[in-house]
Amino acid sequence: VNRSQITSLALGDWIKTGHTVIITGATGSGKTWLACALGQYACRRGHSVTYLRTPRLAEELRVLHGAGSFGKWLIQLAKTDVLILDDWALAPLDASTRADLLEVIDDRAATRGTIITSQLPVEHWHGWIGDVTIADAMLDRLLERTHRITLKAEKSLRNPKTAASNPEAPTPAGGQ
């Protein structure tokens, strides 16, 4: 991890200018931990933060549409300073989720900060999104102003033996 890049992100200018922070890496490399740390620091600086797991988003969106509250939720989410989309591209997108996700991203483009964590390299996101037109629109908005962090770990940081041998490794939830 480049300390100067993390320090720069911690200062929060990317939030006000609507940049996207993209954190990629293998399972257990610390992507979610880093995204949540940046989100927590943003909260401490007075910013609002929302955390969403992308694989669960489709179900949540169906419920919101069914309850007639999708529009209200979308407006509220657009006002959130930082949106963390964790586990991006982990599961396939259906057509309605793809369209709704474009709305979420479009509302935030160049105005609010977004953090995305993904195991899938950015070069493969277009194929994951599936629809060429929506993929072009979504990625144009997301990748216009980005800070990319690629995490590399020889072994999963979730393994207590690996974390104990690496003093720089993030501490798992619960401080153990």
CB 65 within 8 A of CB 30: no
CB 116 within 8 A of CB 142: yes
The owner of tokens 């929302």 is 50
**Dihedral of the CA atoms 167, 117, 111, 140 (nearest 10)?**
130
The whole-angstrom separation of Cα 127 and Cα 138 is 12
DSSP string, 104-121: HHHHHTTTSEEEEEESS-
What is the pLDDT at residue 172? 47
CB 20 within 8 A of CB 116: yes
What is the pLDDT at residue 165? 54
What is the pLDDT at residue 125? 97
Q: Over its length of 176 residues, how does the chain's per-residue pLDDT go in tens digits?
A: 889 999 989 887 899 999 999 999 999 999 999 999 999 999 999 999 999 999 999 999 999 999 999 999 999 999 999 999 999 999 999 999 999 999 999 999 999 999 999 999 999 999 999 999 999 999 999 999 999 999 998 777 776 665 555 555 554 444 43
What is the pLDDT at residue 111? 94
The whole-angstrom separation of Cα 87 and Cα 32 is 8
What is the pLDDT at residue 166? 54
